[in-house]
Amino acid sequence: MTRRGRKEVGEAILRYAPWLRREVEFPMRVPVYLSPRRRLRTMHGELVSASFFAPYDPLVEPYIRIATGDFDELL
Protein backbone atom coordinates (compact mmCIF):
# COMPACT_ATOMS: atom_id res chain seq x y z
CA MET A 1 0.00 0.00 0.00
CA THR A 2 1.20 3.51 -0.77
CA ARG A 3 0.26 6.70 1.01
CA ARG A 4 -2.27 7.20 -1.79
CA GLY A 5 -3.95 3.82 -1.53
CA ARG A 6 -3.52 0.33 -2.89
CA LYS A 7 -1.17 0.02 -5.84
CA GLU A 8 -3.31 -2.77 -7.33
CA VAL A 9 -6.38 -0.52 -7.43
CA GLY A 10 -4.43 2.27 -9.13
CA GLU A 11 -3.08 -0.16 -11.73
CA ALA A 12 -6.60 -1.48 -12.42
CA ILE A 13 -7.89 2.07 -12.93
CA LEU A 14 -5.04 2.79 -15.36
CA ARG A 15 -6.00 -0.31 -17.38
CA TYR A 16 -9.72 0.55 -17.29
CA ALA A 17 -9.47 4.27 -18.20
CA PRO A 18 -8.48 3.88 -21.90
CA TRP A 19 -11.41 1.54 -22.52
CA LEU A 20 -13.81 3.91 -20.73
CA ARG A 21 -12.59 6.90 -22.78
CA ARG A 22 -13.24 4.93 -25.99
CA GLU A 23 -16.78 4.05 -24.87
CA VAL A 24 -17.87 7.33 -23.24
CA GLU A 25 -17.11 10.91 -24.25
CA PHE A 26 -15.84 13.04 -21.40
CA PRO A 27 -15.82 16.81 -22.02
CA MET A 28 -13.18 17.30 -19.34
CA ARG A 29 -10.66 15.43 -17.24
CA VAL A 30 -11.98 13.44 -14.26
CA PRO A 31 -9.13 12.61 -11.86
CA VAL A 32 -9.37 9.61 -9.54
CA TYR A 33 -7.82 9.94 -6.09
CA LEU A 34 -7.03 6.85 -4.01
CA SER A 35 -7.00 6.90 -0.23
CA PRO A 36 -5.42 4.32 2.10
CA ARG A 37 -8.39 4.76 4.48
CA ARG A 38 -11.18 2.21 4.89
CA ARG A 39 -13.89 4.87 4.42
CA LEU A 40 -14.13 8.48 3.24
CA ARG A 41 -16.34 11.19 4.69
CA THR A 42 -18.54 13.10 2.26
CA MET A 43 -19.34 16.79 2.52
CA HIS A 44 -22.65 15.70 4.12
CA GLY A 45 -20.84 13.68 6.81
CA GLU A 46 -21.61 10.22 5.42
CA LEU A 47 -18.95 7.48 5.54
CA VAL A 48 -18.57 5.89 2.11
CA SER A 49 -16.18 3.68 0.16
CA ALA A 50 -16.12 6.05 -2.83
CA SER A 51 -17.50 9.43 -3.86
CA PHE A 52 -17.96 11.46 -7.02
CA PHE A 53 -17.87 15.25 -6.94
CA ALA A 54 -19.70 16.83 -9.89
CA PRO A 55 -19.80 20.60 -9.50
CA TYR A 56 -22.53 22.68 -11.09
CA ASP A 57 -19.88 25.05 -12.43
CA PRO A 58 -18.47 23.76 -15.76
CA LEU A 59 -15.19 25.54 -15.03
CA VAL A 60 -14.59 23.44 -11.89
CA GLU A 61 -13.12 19.98 -12.46
CA PRO A 62 -15.08 16.96 -11.15
CA TYR A 63 -13.25 14.15 -9.35
CA ILE A 64 -13.64 10.65 -7.93
CA ARG A 65 -12.30 9.48 -4.54
CA ILE A 66 -11.89 5.79 -3.68
CA ALA A 67 -11.04 4.33 -0.26
CA THR A 68 -8.78 1.28 -0.58
CA GLY A 69 -8.09 0.48 3.08
CA ASP A 70 -10.33 -2.60 3.11
CA PHE A 71 -8.81 -4.06 -0.07
CA ASP A 72 -7.24 -7.11 1.63
CA GLU A 73 -10.44 -7.85 3.53
CA LEU A 74 -12.57 -7.68 0.36
CA LEU A 75 -10.04 -9.62 -1.71
pLDDT at 27 over 60: yes
Mean pLDDT of the chain: 89
* Percent of the chain whose pLDDT exceeds 90: 57
Task: Give CA–CA dist 15/5, Å, rounded.
Answer: 17
pLDDT given for residue 7 in this prediction: 84
Band (pLDDT 50/70/90 cuts) for residue 42 is very high
Task: Give CA–CA dist 52/62, Å, rounded.
Answer: 7
Task: Give CA–CA dist 52/61, Å, rounded.
Answer: 11
pLDDT at 24 over 70: yes
pLDDT at 52 over 90: yes
pTM across the whole model? 0.81
